[in-house]
């Protein structure tokens, strides 16, 4: 290792420690501080050998093999910023990213992983999240990560090996799960879906927990059996790249013209609009949201029962419920 490489590694260690302190201050893992050790140990820069930063002239590519030392230093500092990083583009469209670390920390805490759990991650990304899970569980074989794109799974596999981890990496449609690796105690998705895939529940043990992005929120479900699950959304917003494959869906545009400016600006209202799309028009949604005290995400939930899935406000048996696909 040359002097410049040593300098980069020292900078990476310092930047990683600073990121851990920043997440500490945010209180992301107060409920399960074991994750602090995982974030302190797993080198994020090995999972983002290059990434893209939006600028006035489009995306700037930062990469770890840049011959310019100052450029490499910018790359490693950016790798440990508490920000999402665009890692794969196609025709200007984002295909894959490394999520914001503090959001990842909150999701992993909310997953409530226990020693010995078998975990499926849907959306392999860079492999960084799978590495954090493998470090926490202390056994690579307990972690399976899946993605539709072969180039994404291959690069994730390479990143994981470089960092000393070898969880099972599968190429396939994440909405179908990974039946050959089931049963699972935990499923976590790092891409947005329009509904809860039935295949996931069928691959879960009773009592399993599922955490998935849905309608710009994070839904935490408790699985009763292969046909039934129920849970609520976490309070915070979360925005992810949509799942590709049969379970994915293209985002729809909604016209908010004619609503008060305040409604157009209130992100919690837009969450209700996304959750009840196809059932409530924007005016009906706004009237409901205002009448019920402007509810935030934590008051909404989802129930899966047989062939039916519905979202609800406050109570799954209450008056406000909307079918999901």
- Please write the tens of the pLDDT for every residue from 124-158: 999 999 999 999 999 999 999 999 999 999 999 99
In a domain, 137, yes or no: yes
Same domain, 52 and 94: yes
What pLDDT sits at residue 263? 54
In a domain, 254, yes or no: no
Same domain, 99 and 148: yes
Same domain, 216 and 294: no
- Please write the tens of the pLDDT for every residue from 69-122: 999 999 999 999 999 999 988 877 777 889 999 999 999 999 999 999 999 999
What pLDDT sits at residue 42? 98
Q: Which residue has the tokens 């599968």?
A: 170
Q: Please, which pLDDT band fits residue 233 given cuts at 50, 70 and 90? A: very high
Same domain, 52 and 155: yes
User: What's the distance, CA 291 to chain centroid?
Assistant: 32
Residues recognised as catalytic: 96
Helices 101-111 and 3-26, packing angle to 10 deg: 60
Of 191, 214, 233, which residue is a domain's last? 233
In a domain, 189, yes or no: yes
By mean pLDDT, which of 15-19, 126-130, 252-256 is the weakest?
252-256
| For residues 258-281, average pLDDT | 78
What pLDDT sits at residue 56? 81
For residues 31 and 35, give the distance between their C-alpha atoms in angstroms, rounded to a whole number: 10
For residues 53 and 85, give the distance between their C-alpha atoms in angstroms, rounded to a whole number: 7
In this predicted structure, the answer to whether residue 251 has a pLDDT above a threshold of 60 is no
Same domain, 189 and 296: no
- Please write the tens of the pLDDT for every residue from 166-217: 999 999 999 999 999 999 999 999 988 889 999 999 999 999 999 999 998 9
In a domain, 10, yes or no: yes
Number of domains in the chain: 2
Domain that residue 274 falls in: 261-323
What pLDDT sits at residue 277? 87
My answer on whether omega of the bond before 249 falls inside 30° of 0, hence cis, is no
Here the CATH number for the domain that contains residue 159 is 3.40.50.150
In a domain, 253, yes or no: no
Q: Indicate the average pLDDT of the chain.
A: 91
In a domain, 307, yes or no: yes
In a domain, 200, yes or no: yes
Up-side HSE of residue 168: CA atoms within 13 Å toward CB? 15
Same domain, 205 and 298: no
Same domain, 196 and 53: yes
């Amino acid at each position: 290792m040359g002097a410049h490489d040593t300098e980069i590694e020292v900078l990476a260690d310092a930047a990683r420690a600073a990121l851990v302190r920043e997440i500490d201050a945010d209180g992301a893992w107060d409920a399960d501080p074991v994750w602090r050790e995982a974030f302190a140990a797993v080198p994020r820069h090995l999972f983002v050998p290059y990434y893209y930063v939006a600028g006035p002239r489009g995306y700037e590519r930062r990469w770890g093999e840049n011959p310019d030392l100052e450029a490499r230093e910018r790359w490693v500092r950016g790798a440990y910023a508490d920000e999402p990083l665009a890692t794969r583009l196609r025709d200007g469209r984002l295909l894959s990213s490394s999520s914001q670390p503090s959001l990842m920390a909150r999701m992993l805490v909310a997953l409530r992983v226990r020693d010995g759990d078998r975990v499926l991650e849907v959306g392999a990304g860079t492999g960084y999240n799978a590495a954090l899970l493998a470090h926490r569980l202390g056994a690579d074989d307990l972690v399976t990560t899946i993605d539709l794109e072969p180039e994404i799974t291959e690069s994730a596999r390479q990143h994981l090996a470089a960092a000393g981890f070898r969880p099972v990496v599968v190429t396939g449609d994440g909405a179908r799960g990974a039946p050959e690796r089931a049963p699972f105690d935990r499923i976590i998705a790092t891409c947005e879906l329009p509904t809860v895939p039935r295949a996931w529940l069928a691959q879960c043990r009773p009592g399993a927990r599922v955490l998935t992005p849905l309608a710009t929120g994070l839904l935490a479900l408790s699985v009763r059996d292969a046909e039934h699950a129920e849970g609520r959304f976490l309070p915070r917003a979360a925005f992810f790249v949509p799942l590709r494959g049969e379970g994915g869906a293209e985002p729809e545009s909604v016209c908010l013209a004619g609503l008060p400016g305040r409604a157009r600006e209130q992100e919690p209202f837009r969450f209700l609009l996304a959750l009840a799309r196809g059932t409530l028009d924007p005016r009906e949604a706004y009237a409901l949201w205002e009448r019920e005290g402007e509810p935030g995400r934590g008051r909404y939930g989802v129930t899966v029962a047989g062939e039916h899935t519905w979202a609800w406000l406050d109570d799954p048996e209450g008056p406000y419920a909307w079918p999901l696909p």
